[in-house]
Chain A
Amino acid sequence: DADVTQTPRNRITKTGKRIMLECSQTKGHDRMYWYRQDPGLGLQLIYYSFDVKDINKGEISDGYSVSRQAQAKFSLSLESAIPNQTALYFCATSDPGASSYNEQFFGPGTRLTVL
């Protein structure tokens, strides 16, 4: 099923370009997250949002910005892409009322390459 979708799935861009990665969900969850995954580093939290008006920085927010356009949409922007932002990017959602352990549901990922 496609409860959490990400576009594009793959993107190659050049240094200095502005890039937007989009995430949409049909799960009705309030909480949304953006992670990046690098080999050997696991998942690192970039930004998270508990609702449309609540956006918080994660561990590695420098060089990134986000926009929560609606409950179902959470976009990640790279204002001026650099090669070390080459990574796999995941969007995730969660419903705090559904589980005390905050199960997160991930999209399929966007593979971004910055040349």
Chain B
Amino acid sequence: QKEVEQDPGPLSVPEGAIVSLNCTYSNSAFQYFMWYRQYSRKGPELLMYTYSSGNKEDGRFTAQVDKSSKYISLFIRDSQPSDSATYLCATGRGSSNTGKLIFGQGTTLQVKP
């Protein structure tokens, strides 16, 4: 079993829809939870990070972590065609430890105009 599981999709939604992307993880030692966004033919870039259970908002994006159920979510409100990309969840123990990140498989999202 992989340490981080993510449904690879693909996911296709109309413009303006609310998108929900999800991951589960198995190791309770993980302390940091991130979402990376990867556009076609580009490297991943950090979109959001959090380290506690609950919600963190940044514009149209909300990252949610439930440590009790080991569940990570990313919500995108009012989705735009420019949000079309692959979204990868990632988790790790932090820089003070090895700093290694464990990535999910990535979910490919297409937002249709």
Contacts and interface: CB of A to CB of B under 8 A. Distances in A.
A33 B51 CA distance: 22
B42 A101 contact: no
Nearest to B108: A39
Q: Which 8 A-B pairs have the closest CB atoms?
A: A106-B43, A96-B95, A101-B32, A42-B105, A102-B99, A43-B103, A102-B95, A42-B103
A50 B96 CA distance: 12
Given A42-B106, A96-B96, A103 B43 contact: no
B95 A99 contact: yes
A31 interface: yes
Contacts of A106: 43-45
A111 B88 CA distance: 19
B100 to A, nearest CB: 6
Interface in B14-62: 32, 34, 41-46, 49, 51
A107 B32 contact: no
Contacts, number: 68
A42 B42 contact: no
Interface string A11-50: 0000000000000000000010001000111111100101
Contact of A42 (B46, B51, B95, B104): B104
Contacts of B106: 42-43
A101 B102 CA distance: 12
A99 B32 CA distance: 11
Contacts of B43: 4, 90, 92, 106-109
14 contacts: A40-B105, A42-B4, A42-B6, A42-B88, A42-B106, A43-B88, A48-B100, A92-B43, A97-B95, A101-B95, A102-B92, A103-B46, A103-B49, A108-B41
B69 to A, nearest CB: 21
Interface in A91-115: 92, 94, 96-97, 99-104, 106-109
